[in-house]
Amino acid sequence: MRHCLRTTFLSVLACALLVGARAATAVDHVVYERDGVRHRVQGRVEVEAQDGGLLVMDRAGKLWTITAEEKQQHTTDEIPFAAHTPEEIGRTLLEELPDGFQVHTTAHYVILYDTSRSYARWCGTLLERLYGTFNNFWKRKGFELVEPELPMVAVVFAERENFRRYMQADIGRSSSIVGYYNLINNRVAMYDLTGVQRDRVAGQRERSRAEINKILARPEAGMTVATIVHEATHQIAFNCGLQRRLADVPFWLSEGVAMYFETPNLASSGGWRGIGKINPSRLSRFRSYQSERGPDSLRELLRTDERLQNSEGVLEAYAESWALVHFLLKRYPDEFVEYMQMLSQKTPLVRSTPEERLEEFEQIFGNLDRLDREFVTQMRKLR
Ligand SMILES: [Zn+2]
User: What distance lies between CA 157 and its chain's CA centroid?
Assistant: 19
* Ligand 1 centroid – CA 258 distance (Å): 6
Distance, CA 2 to ligand 1 centroid (Å)?
A: 7
Ligand 1 centre distance from Cα of residue 176 (Å) = 15
Q: Are residues 212 and 309 in the same domain?
A: no
Mean pLDDT of the chain, nearest integer: 87
Do the domain assignments include residue 256?
no
Q: Which of 238, 272, 295 is the last residue of a domain?
A: 238
For residue 280, what pLDDT band results from cuts at 50, 70 and 90?
confident
> What pLDDT, on the 0 to 100 scale, is given for residue 214?
78
Above 70 in pLDDT, residue 44? yes
Q: What percent of the chain has pLDDT over 90?
A: 69
Sorting pLDDT into bands at 50, 70 and 90, what band is 17? very low
Residue 307 lies in a domain: yes
Can you give the pTM of this predicted structure? 0.90
Higher model confidence: residue 115 or residue 280? 115
State yes or no: pLDDT of 8 exceeds 60: no
Decide if pLDDT at 30 tops 70: yes
- Residues 133 and 222 both lie in one domain: yes
Residue 166 reports pLDDT greater than 80: yes
| Ligand 1 center–CA 254 separation, angstroms | 7
**Ligand 1 mean position to 156 CA, how many Å?**
19
Q: What is the pLDDT of residue 202?
A: 54
* Structure confidence at residue 16 as a pLDDT band (50, 70, 90): very low
CA 249 – ligand 1 centroid, Å: 13
229 alpha carbon to ligand 1 midpoint, in Å? 10
Same domain, 206 and 105: yes
What span, in angstroms and rounded, lies between the C-alpha atoms of 165 and 142? 42
Q: Is residue 90 part of a domain?
A: no
What is the per-residue pLDDT for 266? 58
**What tens digit of pLDDT does each residue of 191-212 get?**
998 875 555 555 555 778 888 8
Distance from CA of residue 81 to its chain's centroid?
25
- Asked if residue 61 and residue 125 are part of one domain, the reply reads no
How many Å lie between the centroid of ligand 1 and the Cα of residue 234?
A: 7
Residue 126 lies in a domain: yes
Tell me whether residue 306 is in a domain. yes
Task: Evaluate if residue 251 carries a pLDDT over 80.
Answer: yes
284-340 confidence digits (pLDDT tens): 999 999 989 999 999 999 999 999 998 889 999 999 999 999 999 999 999 999 999
Of 53, 80, 107, the residue at which a domain comes to its end is: 80
Do 125 and 30 lie in one domain? The reply is no
What distance in angstroms lies between residue 133's CA and the mean position of ligand 1's atoms? 18
Same domain, 215 and 298: no
Residue 294 maps to a domain: yes
Ligand 1 center from residue 23 Cα (angstroms): 29
Give yes or no: residues 74 and 107 share one domain: no
Centroid of ligand 1 to alpha carbon of 102 (angstroms): 27
258-272 tens-digit pLDDT: 999 886 565 654 445
- Give CA–CA dist 154/190, Å, rounded: 8
Do 233 and 357 reside in the same domain of the chain?
A: no
Q: How far is the CA of 372 from the centre of ligand 1 (A)?
A: 24
The DSSP string of 198-219 is HHHHTTPPPPPHHHHHHHHTSG
Nearest one of 57, 4, 73 to 259, comparing CA atoms: 4
Asked if 335 and 329 touch (Cβ cutoff 8 Å), the reply is: no
- The rounded Å distance from CA 326 to ligand 1 centre is 16
Are residues 374 and 284 part of one domain? yes
Please give the distance, rounded to the nearest whole angstrom, from the Cα atom of residue 259 to the centre of ligand 1.
Answer: 7
Which pLDDT does position 206 carry in this prediction? 73
pLDDT computed for residue 264 by the predictor = 57
pLDDT of residue 297: 96
How confident is the model over 125-140, as a mean pLDDT?
A: 93
Alpha carbon of 318 to ligand 1 centroid (Å): 9
Distance 256 CA to ligand 1 centre (A): 8
- Based on the domain organization, do 101 and 229 belong to the same domain? yes
**Residue 64: pLDDT above 50?**
yes
CATH number at residue 229: 3.40.30
Mean pLDDT of 83-87: 96
Between 176 and 273, the higher pLDDT residue: 176
**Is 74 in the same domain as 195?**
no
Quote the ligand 1 centre to 62 CA distance (angstroms): 19
Domain finish residue from 45, 80, 115: 80
Q: Which domain holds residue 37?
A: 6-80
CA distance 61 to 84: 8
- Give a yes or no: residue 269 inside a domain: no
Q: What pLDDT sits at residue 216?
A: 76
CA 174 to ligand 1 centroid distance, Å:
16
CATH of the domain at 75: 2.30.30.520
Can you tell me the mean pLDDT for 168-175? 92
Domain count, the chain: 3
Query: Which whole number is the average pLDDT over 91-117?
Result: 96
The answer to whether the beta carbons of residues 122 and 193 sit under 8 Å apart is no
Distance of CA 243 from the midpoint of ligand 1 (Å): 13
Band of residue 215 on the pLDDT scale cut at 50, 70, 90: confident
In this structure, the answer to whether residues 105 and 232 fall within a common structural domain is: yes
Instruction: Quote the ligand 1 centre to 180 CA distance (angstroms).
Output: 8
pLDDT band at 1 (very low <50, low <70, confident <90, very high): very low
CA of 12 to the centre of ligand 1 (A): 18
Residue 86 lies in a domain: no
9 confidence band (pLDDT: 50, 70, 90):
very low
pLDDT at 11 over 60: no
Single-letter amino acid code for the residue at 74: H
pLDDT, position 205: 58
Helices (H), the chain: 6-13, 86-96, 117-141, 160-171, 196-201, 209-216, 222-239, 251-261, 280-290, 297-303, 306-309, 314-331, 333-344, 354-365, 368-381
Give the Å distance between the CA of 325 and the centre of ligand 1.
Answer: 14
